[in-house]
């Protein structure tokens, strides 16, 4: 029997991002409304699968006439494809081509994967790599534990940074002014009784993360799972990603934690060196 600790669903999987909530549903601040709607369409279909014209209009609350023109334009440019049998719009080949161009230029997941696989071999636990986007961490690569009880996640998934070890490391890579700017006017959700949502408390915790060079998640996002995370740096020393090891709580103890920290330290040191960073990554810059 396989027991899997699944990360709970969160709002941004359908293209909804907490930082955009500050301006409400209307697009403001010099943003182009039609461009924003195009991106909403991409994110909606990516999250929910092929949709009819009516389903897109209802889901996004957009005007029918302008949405029809947007969909026809995207279909013409091959960013969407309209299936003749059920009249549903799906993501098109051109969008895949553009995404592949980005993937080809991003060496980080490719460089990280064999290192992550090695950490799984040393610890027996799931290893993840993520980047920061706003106040969320986005998963770039995952190497799953071979154990029956394990964390199950997916590449591309978004989680709130304040409640995860990966997210805390990534937020700690920012200066405090930038952290507060990103948290400003955002009501952070609480997922378990251990989740810290007070902005001042989060900032104080990030100081500790910078000082010790790693962050932990003590069942702050989901009960039954703990993790340790450390920063990955580029040639300039900036934190460009974070790597974590997730351990089901029943398997977690001091010896396991020490083994995980050693394996993770070696892993992020090697990956950072491959990106051109030569110094040991024990301390996060403020």
Domain ranges, ordered by start, for the chain: 11-102, 107-274
Rounded to a whole number of angstroms, the distance between the first and last alpha carbons of the chain is 45
- Partners of 131 in the β-ladder: 138
Please give the pLDDT value at position 233. Answer: 93
Cα torsion through 67, 68, 70, 72, rounded to 10: 160
Which residues are CB-contacts of 232 (< 8 A; sequence separation ≥ 6)? Answer: 108, 112, 129, 239, 240, 241, 242, 243, 268, 271, 272, 275, 281
One pLDDT digit (tens) per residue for the chain, 286 residues: 344 555 555 544 434 444 443 333 345 556 788 899 999 999 999 888 999 999 999 999 999 989 999 999 999 998 999 988 899 999 988 887 777 665 544 688 999 999 999 999 999 999 999 999 999 999 999 998 888 776 767 788 889 999 999 999 999 999 999 999 999 989 999 999 999 999 999 999 999 999 999 999 999 998 999 999 999 998 888 999 999 999 999 888 989 889 999 999 999 999 999 888 876 444 454 4
Which residues are CB-contacts of 244 (< 8 A; sequence separation ≥ 6)? Answer: 127, 128, 130, 164, 165, 166, 169, 217, 227, 228, 229, 230, 264
How far apart, in whole angstroms, are the C-alpha atoms of residue 131 and residue 137? 5
How far apart, in whole angstroms, are the C-alpha atoms of residue 275 and residue 233? 7
CB distance 169 to 230 below 8 Å = yes
Q: Does domain 11-102 bear CATH number 1.10.10.10? A: yes
Helix (H, G, I), strand (E, B) or coil at 7: coil
Please give the pLDDT value at position 13. Answer: 43
What does the chain come to in residues? 286
Please give the pLDDT value at position 8. Answer: 53
How far apart, in whole angstroms, are the C-alpha atoms of residue 72 and residue 216? 48
Which H/E stretch holds residue 5? strand 4-6
Helix (H, G, I), strand (E, B) or coil at 209: helix
pTM of the model: 0.67
Question: Which of 7, 15, 43, 17 lies closest to 186, judged by CA?
Answer: 17
Cα torsion through 73, 40, 159, 157, rounded to 10: -20
Q: What angle do CA 222, 228, 230 make, to 5 degrees?
A: 130
* Alpha carbon of residue 178 to chain centroid: 18
CATH of 107-274, one of 3.40.50.150, 3.30.450.40, 3.10.20.740, 3.40.50.720: 3.30.450.40
Helix (H, G, I), strand (E, B) or coil at 151: strand
What's the farthest any 2 CA atoms get from each other in the chain?
Answer: 62
């Amino acid at each position: 029997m396989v027991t899997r600790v699944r990360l709970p669903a969160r709002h941004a999987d359908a293209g909804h991002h907490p930082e955009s909530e500050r301006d409400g549903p209307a697009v403001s601040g010099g943003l182009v409304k039609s461009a924003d709607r195009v991106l909403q369409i991409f994110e909606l279909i990516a999250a929910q699968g092929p949709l009819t014209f009516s389903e897109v209009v209802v889901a996004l609350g957009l005007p029918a006439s302008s949405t029809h023109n947007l969909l026809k334009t995207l279909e013409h440019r091959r960013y969407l494809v309209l299936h003749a049998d059920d009249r549903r719009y799906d993501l098109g080949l051109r969008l895949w081509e553009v995404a592949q161009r980005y993937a080809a230029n991003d060496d980080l997941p490719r460089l990280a994967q064999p290192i992550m696989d090695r950490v799984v071999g040393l610890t027996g636990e799931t290893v993840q790599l993520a980047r920061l986007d706003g106040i969320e961490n986005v998963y770039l690569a995952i190497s799953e534990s071979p154990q029956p009880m394990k964390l199950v996640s997916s590449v591309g998934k978004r989680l709130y940074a304040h409640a995860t070890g990966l997210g805390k490391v990534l937020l700690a890579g920012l200066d405090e002014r930038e952290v507060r700017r990103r948290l400003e006017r955002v009501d952070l959700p609480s997922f378990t009784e251990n989740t810290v949502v007070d902005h001042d408390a989060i900032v104080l915790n990030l100081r500790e993360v910078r000082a010790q060079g790693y962050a932990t998640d003590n069942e702050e996002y989901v009960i039954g799972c703990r993790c340790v995370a450390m920063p990955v740096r580029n040639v300039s020393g900036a934190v460009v990603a974070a790597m974590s090891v997730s351990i089901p709580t029943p398997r977690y103890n001091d010896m396991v934690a020490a083994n995980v920290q050693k394996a993770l330290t070696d892993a992020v040191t090697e990956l950072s060196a491959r990106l051109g960073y030569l110094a040991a990554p024990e301390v996060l810059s403020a």
